[in-house]
Amino acid sequence: MRGSNGKGVVRRTKNGETVAKSINFGPLAYWVGFNLRMAQEAAFQAFSHRSQEIGESPGRFATLTLIARNPGISQTELSLANGRDKSSLTPVVEDLVRRGLIERKRMDSDRRTYRLNLTPAGKKTLALMTRCARRHERNLDRIIGLRDRKKFLQILKRIAAEME
Amino acid sequence: MRGSNGKGVVRRTKNGETVAKSINFGPLAYWVGFNLRMAQEAAFQAFSHRSQEIGESPGRFATLTLIARNPGISQTELSLANGRDKSSLTPVVEDLVRRGLIERKRMDSDRRTYRLNLTPAGKKTLALMTRCARRHERNLDRIIGLRDRKKFLQILKRIAAEME
DNA sequence: GCCCCATAGTTGGGTATCAAACTACATCCT
DNA sequence: AGGATGTAGTTTGATACCCAACTATGGGGC
């Protein structure tokens, strides 16, 4: 219940009261960019709290899934698929290796690139996170409504693909 | 053209070639959370580059708009409307004051809270950024399509408002 | 074989963010 | 009036990210 509903914001006080304050959002109310950010932030926070319960960080989740589905993927391919800079991946991969969730081997044919693979422990952790993510998705689906879900997803994909 | 289209990723090499690599996204392909993040990231990056051209950071934009539309707003109200923690706002407000874009006065009735207002210079900068944002929005609209825009926006607002 | 340039991954610097602890002021209750 | 409790804003510490510069490796042309 954090953030905008187009009219104002709702704040929770410590005693459990809620105070509504009317805020004028001006053009932000009908601009896609702002609302996209607010929605993503809210969804991310929710998933973040959820995945904290199982002791994992949300960023690890997409990474593990992509490695599981593309065994032997390189870090650069992974960073592209994940939409992050390759340098952001360095500490993540290090952490996952250290905790024994993935393994990383130099390629024979090209000794610059690594091949990443899940370990059995990694598969177990991924299964746990996937269940957690499915609950999160059900929550999102409830808000979006099944009828509009497909269209909504299509538009998101187009934005990711066609934005310059 | 960065990121997922549901089938793979497209990478640009230095010689201008494009190399397509087929990536299996598994459940990520049809999960809202992941695609929401990818779309937001892409849109944000685009706006970020655009606003760099006029020497401003994208985060400042929503802040200035909200102050303009709600003269005398407090920092806490602002942080709620903006969907950020109030502590994130401290350096932003400091920077805007230092550069003479906003002014901040203690309230008489409650000497803890500040009232924020735009200066004339701030109004000028906001006008500049608004033009920049409108171009960005036109680009988004083109991708989304006018027919689906309203529905899309509604769903984004619902996610921001109803997510726990 | 050697040079040039491209690529895989890392490092370093800078920014944005959150959460929790803190300071100063306000309000409520008795 | 004064102590308990709550709120506005700041500080501090941690995380995640980008970008540019770097190291090491690969490969084509000669």
Between B5 and B149, residue with greater pLDDT: B149
**pLDDT tens for each residue of B53-85:** 888 888 899 999 999 999 999 999 999 999 999
- Give yes or no for residue B52 having a pLDDT over 60: yes
CA distance A52 to A67: 21
Chain-centroid distance, C-alpha B56: 12
Between A86 and B55, residue with greater pLDDT: A86
Residue A162 to residue B143, Cβ atoms within 8 A? yes
Tell me if A160 sits within 8 A of B35, measured CB to CB.
yes
Between B4 and A116, residue with greater pLDDT: A116
Tell me if A36 sits within 8 A of B40, measured CB to CB.
yes
CA distance A136 to A143: 11
- Give yes or no for residue A54 having a pLDDT over 80: yes
Give yes or no for CB of A14 within 7 Å of strand D.
yes
Domain B31-162 has CATH 2.40.40.20: no
CA–C1' B113–D1 (A)? 26
CA distance B45 to A160: 11
| Res A5: pLDDT | 39
Nucleotide nearest A17 (Cα, C1'): D6
| Res A20: pLDDT | 65
DSSP label of B55: T
| Res A94: pLDDT | 95
| Res B1: pLDDT | 37
Nearest Cβ partner of B32 from A73, A80, A137?
Answer: A137
| Distance between B68 CA and the closest CA of chain A, angstroms | 9
Q: Measured between alpha carbons, how far is residue A39 from residues A4, B39, B99, B157 in Å?
A: 9, 11, 31, 7
| Distance between B79 CA and the closest CA of chain A, angstroms | 9
Tell me if B117 sits within 8 A of B103, measured CB to CB.
yes
CB pairs under 8 A between A and B: 243
Find all residues with CB under 8 Å of B79, minimum gap 6, and list them: B85, B86, B88, B89
Of the spans A21-25, A49-53, A92-96, B42-46, which averages the highest pLDDT?
Answer: A92-96
Mean pLDDT for all residues in chain B: 89
- Give yes or no for residue B106 having a pLDDT over 70: yes
| Res B121: pLDDT | 96
Nearest Cβ partner of B162 from A37, A65, A143?
Answer: A143
Between B26 and B20, residue with greater pLDDT: B26
Which of A6-15, A66-75, A140-149 bottoms out in mean pLDDT, i.e. has the lowest? A6-15
**pLDDT tens for each residue of B107-144:** 998 999 999 999 999 999 999 999 999 999 999 999 99
Nucleotide nearest A84 (Cα, C1'): D17
Average pLDDT over residues B96-106: 95
- Give yes or no for residue A117 having a pLDDT over 80: yes
CA distance B36 to B89: 25
Average pLDDT over residues B23-51: 93
pLDDT band at A138 (very low <50, low <70, confident <90, very high): very high
Residue A32 to residue B144, Cβ atoms within 8 A? yes
For chain B, the domains span: 1-30, 31-162
CA distance A61 to A51: 9
Nucleotide nearest A94 (Cα, C1'): C10
Instruction: Supply A139's token pair.
Output: 């929550």
R_g (Cα) of chain A, nearest Å: 20
| Res B14: pLDDT | 67
| Res B5: pLDDT | 38
Instruction: Supply B114's token pair.
Output: 């500040």
Cβ neighbours of A136 in B, within 8 Å: 33
Give yes or no for CB of B118 within 7 Å of strand D.
no
**Is A114 in a helix, a strand, or coil?**
strand
pTM over 0.85: yes
- Give yes or no for residue A9 having a pLDDT over 80: no
